[in-house]
Amino acid sequence: MSDNLTISSGEDTFDLAITDGTIKATDLKQVATSDGPLATYDPGFMNTAACKSSITYIDGDAGILEYRGYPIEQLAEQATHLEVAYLLLNGELPNAEELAGWEREVNTHRFVHENVAQIVESFRYDAHPMAKLMAGVASMQTFYPSARQIEDPESQRRNIVRLIGKMPTLAAWSYRHSIGRHRVYPNDELGYVDNFLAMLFQSQQRVYRPDPRVSRAMEVLFILHADHEQNCSTTAVRTVASAGNDVYTSAGAGVGALFGPAHGGANEAVLKMLREIGSVDRIGEFIDGVKNGKAKLMGFGHRVYKNYDPRARVIKKATDEVFEVTGRNPLLDIAVELERIALEDEYFVKRRLYPNVDFYSGLIYEALKFPPEMFTVLFAVPRTAGWCAQWLEGVTDAEQKIMRPKQVYTGHRERAVVPIDQR
Ligand code: SDX
């Protein structure tokens, strides 16, 4: 393994240091080309590190995912979402006293300003809840202007706690608005996930208490979705933060990026795909369509995982617990058979396409009676902890600058403007 790269260009030779498996892109500038100093062209950042981070580690070939060094499988088995949020933000797991204090702190910030509720409810009832959530999150900066002091550690912490505390309320109210039901306010007797479920499903008469198996399954789903290093929405958060923006404005951009069907919107698209396939005997026809480029196998493939997404494995196990309560989702049979066929088919094997986190999660959400439009909202709520940790790491990283990539210009040059009556 070499720790330096030698580039020869014409008569010149350049030695570039290799550190952490990378060269500094700016070191390439010493190489002159006919189009100016050498740069890299990397659409979609297929092979470019934009930051240093110690939050989440992924080994895509080995199917490994760790938060601050802890394997996701152990955290999903033993931790709670707020415990993992603490870990992502502080770098260490809390002890019992630290966790109790953290839960109290987050849970005192569950209420949302009534004006924010009005912003969410100013949308048409059938507007996509991700649009309502994006507006609600981005509006929060106007209620907490101190959040703009992004250098102040106290303001950083206070506004991160507020956002993590309020996200479930905003998400639940987006849902209630879409089904024409009254807002359910946070209940301090309930934990983070159970309170979220109650704000979603509480009816007028009953005090909603989720089945413990449903509650645990949602906790596991929250843990699995909490962070995933430099994915598209986290990159959006870091990009907006790099211009000096507060955590709400940055997270609002994250919600927008996550909305995309190639990213967090895939869980909604998986259910739509399974419904369109309709039955196990029509899978072959669908797979042929994918191979002919007519459709993508949603919930499959990943920029980093070229092996089974470890989260998909844990979620598939969680489906069993939930279906004990809700009854088995018949679409699961199509999903399991689709996975079996895809894992044997040369087209997918050659492209190293495996189920990702979105392939099975939607089946649980549907069994819990969420409409598909809510699936990505259920991704955004837990991912808020990761966005906050990544935002904090970005705004406190002395090496970071405002993100402003170069381009390869392919347009016209130096044309004279012709008067309009001569065009
Ligand atoms: C998430 O980055 C993250 O960490 C994201 C995430 C997180 O936690 O934040 O993990 C969450 O977004 C998971 C991914 C959810 N998206 C989907 O399930 C949508 C379907 N998947 C694809 O759109 C795709 O796999 C991506 C976007 C996920 C990854 O795309 P890449 O890395 O840019 O890969 P690519 O498009 O270059 O594909 C390589 C080849 C291509 O074929 P060829 O041109 O070589 O012939 O594989 C094909 C692609 O056409 N391919 C697929 C496919 N995904 C890739 N073919 C059929 N179905 C698919 N799903």
Tell me: the pLDDT tens digits for 84-116?
999 999 999 999 999 999 999 999 999 999 999
Query: How many CA atoms, within 13 angstroms, populate the side-chain half-sphere of residue 104?
Result: 6
pLDDT for position 249: 98
Distance 171 CA to ligand 1 centre (A): 27
Do the Cβ atoms of 137 and 233 come closer than 8 Å?
A: no
Do the Cβ atoms of 174 and 137 come closer than 8 Å?
A: no
pLDDT for position 196: 96
Distance 267 CA to ligand 1 centre (A): 13
**pLDDT at 303 exceeding the cut of 70:** yes
Average pLDDT for residues 6-30, to the nearest whole number? 95
Do the Cβ atoms of 61 and 306 come closer than 8 Å?
A: yes
User: Tokens for 158?
Assistant: 């206070």
Residue 311's pLDDT band (cuts 50, 70, 90) = very high
Average pLDDT for residues 359-386, to the nearest whole number? 94
**pLDDT at 223 exceeding the cut of 70:** yes
Burial class (CB in 10 A: 0-12, 13-18, 19+), 402: exposed
Each residue of 327-361: b (16+ CB within 10 Å) or e? eebebbebbeebbebbeeeeebeeeebbbbbbbbb
Residue 329's pLDDT band (cuts 50, 70, 90) = confident
Taking CA atoms only, the protein residue closest to ligand 1 atom 23 is 262
pLDDT for position 209: 87
Cα–Cα distance measured from residue 389 to residue 227, given in angstroms and rounded to the nearest whole number: 9
Report in angstroms the alpha-carbon separations of 224 from 92, 149, 365: 17, 31, 14
Per the prediction, the chain carries an average pLDDT of 95
Cα–Cα distance measured from residue 62 to residue 403, given in angstroms and rounded to the nearest whole number: 31
Residue 271's pLDDT band (cuts 50, 70, 90) = very high
Average pLDDT for residues 309-319, to the nearest whole number? 92
Cα–Cα distance measured from residue 292 to residue 295, given in angstroms and rounded to the nearest whole number: 8
**pLDDT at 74 exceeding the cut of 80:** yes
Q: Percentage of the chain surpassing pLDDT 70?
A: 100
Tell me: the pLDDT tens digits for 190-202?
999 999 999 999 9
**How many other CB atoms sit within 10 Å of the CB of residue 110?**
22
Residue 307's pLDDT band (cuts 50, 70, 90) = confident
Q: Is 358 known to be catalytic?
A: yes
Average pLDDT for residues 60-72, to the nearest whole number? 96
At CA 201, angle to CA 178 and CA 187, rounded to 5?
115
* CA terminus-to-terminus distance, the chain: 60
Taking CA atoms only, the protein residue closest to ligand 1 atom 39 is 351
pLDDT for position 330: 86
Taking CA atoms only, the protein residue closest to ligand 1 atom 8 is 228
Tell me: the pLDDT tens digits for 120-130?
999 999 999 99
Cα–Cα distance measured from residue 56 to residue 75, given in angstroms and rounded to the nearest whole number: 13
Pocket of ligand 1 (CB under 6 A): 228, 231-232, 262-264, 266, 290, 296-303, 351, 353, 356-358
Residue 177's pLDDT band (cuts 50, 70, 90) = very high
**pLDDT at 205 exceeding the cut of 80:** no
Report in angstroms the alpha-carbon separations of 286 from 201, 278, 294: 35, 10, 9
Can you give 220-282 as a three-state secondary structure string?
HHHHHCCCCCCCHHHHHHHHHHHCCCCHHHHHHHHHHHHCCCCCCCHHHHHHHHHHHHCCHHH
Q: Which residues, in sequence order, are bridge partners of residue 57?
A: 66
Tell me: the pLDDT tens digits for 367-376?
998 999 999 9
**Residues 6 or more apart in contact with residue 135 via CB below 8 angstroms:** 119, 120, 123, 252
Question: Which of 27, 263, 345, 397 is labelled catalytic?
Answer: 263
Cα–Cα distance measured from residue 235 to residue 249, given in angstroms and rounded to the nearest whole number: 14
pTM equals 0.94
**pLDDT at 161 exceeding the cut of 90:** yes
Q: Which residues, in sequence order, are bridge partners of residue 300?
A: 355
Q: Is 302 known to be catalytic?
A: yes
**Residues 6 or more apart in contact with residue 234 via CB below 8 angstroms:** 227, 228, 254, 386, 387, 390
Average pLDDT for residues 259-285, to the nearest whole number? 93
Q: Is 263 known to be catalytic?
A: yes
**pLDDT at 208 exceeding the cut of 90:** no
Question: Which of 302, 333, 412, 421 is labelled catalytic?
Answer: 302
Residue type, 195: N
**pLDDT at 418 exceeding the cut of 80:** yes
Average pLDDT for residues 19-34, to the nearest whole number? 95
